[in-house]
Amino acid sequence: MSSSLQFCRINASTPHSDRNQIPNFSRTKPPELSAASIWKLRGGDCTRRVLSKVRCTKLTEAVVEEGVRESEGVEELTCVMKFGGSSVASAERMREVADLILSFPEERPIIVLSAMGKTTNKLLTAGEKVLSCGDSRASKIDELAFIKELHLRTVRELGVDASVISAHLDELEQLLKGIARLKELTLRTRDYLVSFGECMSTRIFAAYLNKIGAKAQQYDAFDIGFITTDDFTSADILEATYPAVAKRLHSDWISDPAIPVVTGFLGKGWKSCAVTTLGRGGSDLTATTIGKALGLREIQVWKDVDGVLTCDPTVHPRAEPVPYLTFEEAAELAYFGAQVLHPQSMRPAREGDIPVRVKNSYNPKAPGTLITKNRDMSKAVLTSIVLKQNVTMLDIVSTRMLGQFGFLARVFSIFEDLGISVDVVATSEVSLSLTLDPSKLWSRELIQQELDHVVEELEKIAVVNLLQHRSIISLIGNVQRSSLILEKVFSVLRTNGVNVQMISQGASKVNISLIVNDSEAERSVRALHHSFFESGDMSETELDSKFQSGKVSTLKAES
Ligand SMILES: Nc1ncnc2c1ncn2[C@@H]1O[C@H](COP(=O)(O)OP(=O)(O)O)[C@@H](O)[C@H]1O
Ligand SMILES: N[C@@H](CC(=O)OP(=O)(O)O)C(=O)O
């Protein structure tokens, strides 16, 4: 075992570890238990024994039912409200968020918070920096000073006791010194390092709510049953999380109602028992997981934009809010790179059929985006344009003759063996083009060596052309109207001198993906946005009248 584990373990002598309540996981594959047998464990701490693949919906219902019996007079929790880093970036923002929460007296929310502002980025940079600076200088790096100053200023300005975070700040400094001494930063240590951000923001915010008379209780997600795989930096939530989280939050609420304030982004590896993270932006997933676990009425994710927009506002400032989306559209949009939602976050909401509302904490009056199972698609054409840059594309042509079966299976088995996921695919019998999921590559260290290895393996059966610096432009919308969409897309791109290198309209009913050069991508998105959303003729209302008057079939692509 690497000595760095000294620093990344949840250790009984540290503030983080004091709070561990699920340390005794079996190190082997967890047993599959029925909901009924888990239910029998309810007297004890079910998280100790029950890990994955439980039929959690029934159990969740049972936990809630028991709660209802026990909770005479206590009103149910109603919704989750998640606030991202930009929403809680300062004392002033925390005050505004507290006022916002309390301005909905009819709600009894669970609050999920991300780390303050850019804290996660600063922690990651701090970890990288101390690797080469020597342990005597580790406590003097700018990033640590920034984090300390931000958090201490925030507690001071909010008038809460600095002791709520002082142990974490000391421990963070010790951790950075440890990394500097060992000159080693494993993925596991990295997750432990970034967890300090959410652990501190939630402690400060809960203390502030208590100070202003709104009774609140802070929770570390890794203590209340967020059980994950041990894939550090991009862990998946295991099924056992749902009953465990439902039981803990519900029973605490019933016995002593206090607004729960939960760390976003964090979990606990089922084998390692170490802190894991759910991938960047993972607090959205924490919120939807809680929503499903407790069967809540609504999940709200509060951001710094007026909802999900027609494209990334940093690429094109004329992006507009999209009022309604289906879970499927939102999932595709997130998966294909819209930073606004975590790629996996729609899954629990869809499974639990819980509406998700994306709102702006800087502009609460804006209606935001409502994401539900179904919506009226009769007028929908294009909903949003998503850009994923710096993608690697592979052209693979079989060295065998036409008619050879098993070619595609062999190609995909190579990706499976190497643990690399594929995003967009276009195939014929003997050739295929595909793009590699960059998030899976980014989470590893030896990107170039890994790509070389993929090519080496594929070259045993095919001629391979590796093309880097490509972008995927995903058109999220009503694929039933694909001819209409594509007619316009190709016209716009042709006019702008952009060549499409690959196109894929897979099984998804909501997404068409185009691959273009990175250097042409932003320009293409702006031109497409202008044509679809700013010129009027493709807006849902305009189209409706055109359909009715029969004009749509002759609608000419604009240049
Ligand atoms: N289609 C889109 N709609 C809205 N925001 C988008 C979109 N694509 C990218 N973004 C970016 O996502 C940001 C919000 O996501 P994020 O920073 O993760 O929020 P938070 O940290 O508040 O959870 C916006 O500020 C915006 O720059
Ligand atoms: N703080 C983490 C988790 C997160 O969800 O953040 P945000 O909600 O600010 O995107 C991150 O920066 O990735």
Helix (H) / strand (E) containing 49 = none
pLDDT, mean of residues 105-130:
97
Q: Do 79-296 and 383-534 come out as alike in CATH topology?
A: no
Structure token pair of residue 4: 């760095």
pLDDT, mean of residues 123-127:
96
Are the C-beta atoms of 221 and 266 separated by less than 8 Å?
A: yes
* Among protein residues, the one whose CA lies closest to atom 21 of ligand 1: 84
The CATH number for 383-534, chosen from 3.40.1550.20, 3.30.2130.10, 3.30.499.10, 1.10.10.10, is 3.30.2130.10
pLDDT at residue 480 tops 80? yes
| Complex ipTM > 0.85 | yes
Residue to mutate (ligand 1; options 90, 316, 340, 359; most atoms within 8 A of CB): 340
Task: Find out whether the beta carbon of 348 lies less than 6 Å from any atom of ligand 2.
Answer: no
* Among protein residues, the one whose CA lies closest to atom 12 of ligand 2: 120
Least confident of 106-110, 116-120, 543-547: 543-547
Percent of the chain with pLDDT strictly greater than 70: 79
- CA-279 nearest atom, ligand 2: 13
Are the C-beta atoms of 225 and 20 separated by less than 8 Å?
A: no
Structure token pair of residue 41: 């464990």
Residue closest to 185 by CA, chosen among 234, 129, 140: 129
Q: Is 468 helix (H, G, I), strand (E, B) or coil?
A: strand
Residue closest to 525 by CA, chosen among 126, 533, 365, 480: 533
pLDDT at res. 285: 98
Amino acid letter, 250:
H
Task: Find out whether the beta carbon of 477 lies less than 6 Å from any atom of ligand 2.
Answer: no
CA distance 163 to 150: 15
Q: Is 361 helix (H, G, I), strand (E, B) or coil?
A: coil
Q: How are strands ordered across the β-sheet holding 422-427?
A: 422-427, 431-436, 382-398, 462-477, 511-517, 502-504
Are the C-beta atoms of 296 and 250 separated by less than 8 Å?
A: no
Task: Find out whether the beta carbon of 344 lies less than 6 Å from any atom of ligand 2.
Answer: no
For 499, phi then psi, to 5°, come to: -100, 130
Task: Find out whether the beta carbon of 93 lies less than 6 Å from any atom of ligand 1.
Answer: no
Number of residues written out for the chain: 559
Handedness of CA 106, 108, 112, 118 (dihedral sign): positive
pTM of the predicted protein model: 0.83
Task: Find out whether the beta carbon of 235 lies less than 6 Å from any atom of ligand 1.
Answer: no
On the CB side of 162, CA atoms within 13 Å amount to 11
> What mean pLDDT, rounded, does the chain reach?
83
pLDDT at res. 370: 98
CA distance 115 to 4: 24
Residue closest to 367 by CA, chosen among 309, 326, 415: 309
Provide Rg for the chain, Cα atoms: 25
**CATH class of the domain defined by 79-296:** alpha beta
Question: Apex CA 343: angle with CA 395 and CA 426, to 5°?
Answer: 20
Task: Find out whether the beta carbon of 265 lies less than 6 Å from any atom of ligand 2.
Answer: yes
Confidence of residue 21 (pLDDT cuts 50, 70, 90): very low
Where helices occur in 183-225 by DSSP H, the ranges are 187-211
Task: Find out whether the beta carbon of 117 lies less than 6 Å from any atom of ligand 2.
Answer: no
pLDDT at res. 72: 65
Burial (CB count within 10 angstroms: exposed 0-12, middle 13-18, buried 19+), residue 201: buried
Task: Find out whether the beta carbon of 307 lies less than 6 Å from any atom of ligand 2.
Answer: no
Secondary-structure percent of the chain, ordered helix, strand, coil, rounded to 5: 45, 20, 35
* Among protein residues, the one whose CA lies closest to atom 5 of ligand 1: 340
* Among protein residues, the one whose CA lies closest to atom 10 of ligand 2: 281
Amino acid letter, 353:
D
Q: Give residue-wise pLDDT tens across range 348-368.
A: 999 999 999 999 999 999 999
Task: Find out whether the beta carbon of 178 lies less than 6 Å from any atom of ligand 2.
Answer: no
Task: Find out whether the beta carbon of 321 lies less than 6 Å from any atom of ligand 1.
Answer: no
- CA-197 nearest atom, ligand 2: 1
Say how many Å lie between the CA of residue 350 and the centre of ligand 1.
Answer: 21
Residue closest to 6 by CA, chosen among 140, 212, 155, 179: 179
pLDDT, mean of residues 511-525:
95
DSSP letter at 13? T
In the beta sheet, which residues pair with residue 261? 111, 218
Domain residue extents for the chain:
79-296, 383-534
Task: Find out whether the beta carbon of 30 lies less than 6 Å from any atom of ligand 1.
Answer: no
Say how many Å lie between the CA of residue 276 and the centre of ligand 1.
Answer: 23
